[in-house]
Amino acid sequence: MANSEIILQLQNVTKQYPGVIAANDVSIDFCKGEVHALVGENGAGKSTLIKLISGAIKPTSGSIMFGGKDLTKLTTNEVRKTGIEVVYQEFNLVPDLTVYENIFLGDFETTHGGLMLNRKEMIKRSQALFDSLGINIDSTSRVSDLSVAYMQFVEIAKAISKNAKVLIMDEPTAVLTNKDVEVLMEIVKKLRSEGVTVIYVSHRMEEIFLLSDRITIMRDGHKITTVNTAETDRKELIHHMVGREVNESYPERTNEIGEEILRVENLSGNGIADVNFTLHRGEILGFGGLVGAGRTETMEVLFGRFPKITGKTFIHGKEVNIRNPRDAVKNGLAFVPEDRKTLGLIMDKSILHNISIVSLDKNAKAGGFIVDDKKMAELTDKQIKDMAIKTPSADQEAGNLSGGNQQKVVLGKWLASDDAEIYIFDEPTRGIDVGAKHEIYLLMNALTARGKAIIMVSSEMEELLGMSDRLIIMSEHHQVGSLEKSEFDKNRVLDIASGDK
């Protein structure tokens, strides 16, 4: 470390909940002007630490010293005033306001003694802020018109505009494509050079190594260790995180690609156009491209969530008309959406309720009139067992599960019904920790081994190349290319995805 002045210090911080110790005697020193990565599996205690530092929760014992003050004695607002800002995974932007209004929200520049907004000044200052960060954004555009990546940038700019000395980023790149990640990394580097301390929570190994100066690893509420990034490697990190050896490579596949099962011709609608592809039994067809390229939108049209304008869909060579998700399900499609919390699950309902939902009508007794509770419980228990869903019981609310287990429940509802032949996975492992990721891959492979076909949208290059048999690449709402397995190459995919052929 060039500059090792300690700016923020956690001293023996413990946070105890009834039955759980979310942070157990954690001591970490954060230095001025460093990028300090915080890593660990889901539930390791990273979010707890962020909440403790930001003042959202108070520790059971221990202190957090910043600029001579103990943050644990302050409220969230007081903590922010000392110069600590958090950029959360969930955006805190007002979508109907403009970019500059969001940046100055709660602290508007005014004229005439506070009577009038000083728009000019606010626009000027926010534009200067974006320029200094190297972000190309029009500060008068409405936030709702921005892509997810740009919303993230606005969040960051908003935090910086408050003259943050410590900036905490909670999985900032979880929603970004590789290209946007690069922009983000440039921003972080710039901040570091200006002496801002960045605490960086991420699951993505690649950027942790590219970006961070030091890494603190958390597991089960304990701080395992803090290491200098230059003195460690991926394998050691994962070993610390998981507490056991994990094979990070993609599991061996023994699928046999069979006959054509799905053919899509000239699909358009929901903002996308000209999508053509075929899918075969036992195959994983990857969909690559940048965020906003129209991959999710394509899946939504295919599954009938939004209407198509043109296009034909053939299943087993027979044309089918999918007007809504119900038609899709009837025709053997299953959808595991990217946003599993709002589109895949019913968060306030039990695992049993969630897994039963697809097969409830089919398995009803008395001519479809009475729910077969026993059968549903059996089907659910089978899924919990087969997929090793970690839960005390089938009655647990889906919202209480970790990301990986939630994803298994989403998959479980389709598997319990087992009518589907075509599974659409949209970002199957987003926000899921290393161990659970591997399990999801194994589940996908088990599906193809049974002759099912998979369409996988993924923004993780490694995953896309590691799991797919073939690739379709989209850019700006159109299909722009396809690659056979033999042609798989990271740079080639990026080239096509960014529009260069």
Catalog residues that contact another protein under the rule CB under 8 A: 17-18, 47, 303, 305, 324-326, 328-330, 335, 337, 342-349, 353, 356-358, 360-361, 364, 368-371, 399-400, 413
Q: State in angstroms the smallest separation of the CB of 20 from another protein.
A: 8
Q: State in angstroms the smallest separation of the CB of 262 from another protein.
A: 17
Q: State in angstroms the smallest separation of the CB of 280 from another protein.
A: 24
Q: Which is nearer to another protein, 18 or 106 (CB)?
A: 18
139 class by beta-carbon count within 10 Å (0-12 exposed, 13-18 middle, 19+ buried):
buried
381 class by beta-carbon count within 10 Å (0-12 exposed, 13-18 middle, 19+ buried):
middle
Q: State in angstroms the smallest separation of the CB of 376 from another protein.
A: 9
In whole angstroms, give the CA distance from residue 116 to residue 110: 5
DSSP states of 137-178: --TTSBGGGS-HHHHHHHHHHHHHHTT-SEEEEESTTTT--H
Q: Is the separation of the CB atoms in 168 and 55 below 8 Å?
A: no
134 class by beta-carbon count within 10 Å (0-12 exposed, 13-18 middle, 19+ buried):
exposed
Q: Which is nearer to another protein, 62 or 344 (CB)?
A: 344
At residue 302, what is the residue type? L
Q: Which is nearer to another protein, 133 or 334 (CB)?
A: 334
Q: Is the separation of the CB atoms in 264 and 311 below 8 Å?
A: yes
Q: State in angstroms the smallest separation of the CB of 353 from another protein.
A: 7
Q: State in angstroms the smallest separation of the CB of 371 from another protein.
A: 6
Q: State in angstroms the smallest separation of the CB of 402 from another protein.
A: 10
Measured CA angle at 463 (ends 460, 468), to 5 deg: 125
Contacts of 356 (CB under 8 A, 6+ apart): 376, 379, 380, 413, 416
In whole angstroms, give the CA distance from residue 225 to residue 243: 12
Q: Which is nearer to another protein, 104 or 425 (CB)?
A: 425
Q: Which is nearer to another protein, 170 or 283 (CB)?
A: 170
Q: State in angstroms the smallest separation of the CB of 204 from another protein.
A: 22
Q: Is the separation of the CB atoms in 423 and 261 below 8 Å?
A: no
Q: Which is nearer to another protein, 318 or 369 (CB)?
A: 369
Parallel, antiparallel, or unpaired: how do β-strands 61-66 and 69-70 relate?
antiparallel
Q: Position of tokens 């001293």?
A: 11
Q: State in angstroms the smallest separation of the CB of 347 from another protein.
A: 7
Chain CA centroid to CA 71, Å = 30
- CB atoms near residue 281 (< 10 Å): 20
Q: Which of 157, 171, 160, 162 lies closest to 90 in space, CA to CA?
A: 171
Q: Which is nearer to another protein, 47 or 475 (CB)?
A: 47
Q: State in angstroms the smallest separation of the CB of 335 from another protein.
A: 6
Exposure string for 429-451, b = 16+ CB within 10 A, e = fewer: bbbbbbbbbbbbbebbbebbeeb
Q: State in angstroms the smallest separation of the CB of 250 from another protein.
A: 28
Q: Which is nearer to another protein, 50 or 175 (CB)?
A: 50
Q: Which is nearer to another protein, 85 or 338 (CB)?
A: 338
229 φ, ψ to 5°? -55, -40
Q: Which is nearer to another protein, 172 or 403 (CB)?
A: 403
Q: Which is nearer to another protein, 100 or 335 (CB)?
A: 335
